[in-house]
Amino acid sequence: MAAITAAIGLGHAGDRAGARAELERLWVETGDALHRCTIAHFVADLQDSVADELMWDERALAVAAELTDERARQHDASFQVRAFMPSLHLNLADAHRRLGNVPAARHHLTAAEADIDTLPDDDYGRLIRTGMEKIRRALDDGSTAPLSP
């Protein structure tokens, strides 16, 4: 996880290509579901095309299906897989929306809402809830434009 965190830090420091390359290398090297879910979730945001972003978002969700609460809690005692789902589905909803695939976007938005109760009322929970509202509004407006932060 330290190597994943370091690679994510590269991206936050502005080295998107370096971060993407390092995360993709780690993806190939690990078979651990928690690591692969984390890698795919973050490498999606480093893609240059929405189609590639969607591919990585789909990988994150697929790997999350292999992840157990027991494995997640080995990393952090508070983790539960169900709490990962709102963020994973939210990313998929937004990618589908930007590609103009409204039915798939709405499907993933609904899936995100199904597990929203797992998120605490903290900065992270508010970030996900706010993101859901932004995507819902963009879908209602027919917008495929990237969302503002």
- Considering the domain architecture, whether residues 15 and 63 belong to the same structural domain is answered as yes
Alpha-carbon span 92 to 73, nearest angstrom: 25
Range of the domain at 138: 80-149
- Considering the domain architecture, whether residues 57 and 104 belong to the same structural domain is answered as no
Question: What is the reported pLDDT for 2?
Answer: 94
- Considering the domain architecture, whether residues 1 and 40 belong to the same structural domain is answered as yes
Q: How confident is residue 76, by pLDDT bands cut at 50, 70 and 90? A: confident
Question: What is the reported pLDDT for 69?
Answer: 85
Domain assignment of residue 75, yes or no = no
Residue that terminates a domain, selected from 68, 95, 113: 68
**149 pLDDT more than 80:** no
DSSP one-letter string for 75-140:
H-TT--GGGGHHHHHHHHHHHHHHTT-HHHHHHHHHHHHHTGGGS-SSHHHHHHHHHHHHHHHHHH
- Considering the domain architecture, whether residues 15 and 49 belong to the same structural domain is answered as yes
- Considering the domain architecture, whether residues 89 and 38 belong to the same structural domain is answered as no
Question: What is the reported pLDDT for 85?
Answer: 96
- Considering the domain architecture, whether residues 96 and 50 belong to the same structural domain is answered as no
Domain assignment of residue 106, yes or no = yes
Question: What is the reported pLDDT for 80?
Answer: 86
Number of domains in the chain: 2
Question: What is the reported pLDDT for 79?
Answer: 82
- Considering the domain architecture, whether residues 108 and 133 belong to the same structural domain is answered as yes
Nearest to 19, CA basis, from 3, 30, 33: 3
Q: What is the pLDDT of residues 82-115, one digit of tens each?
A: 999 999 999 999 999 999 999 999 999 999 999 9
Q: What is the pLDDT of residues 12-59, one digit of tens each?
A: 999 999 999 999 999 999 999 999 999 999 999 999 999 999 999 999
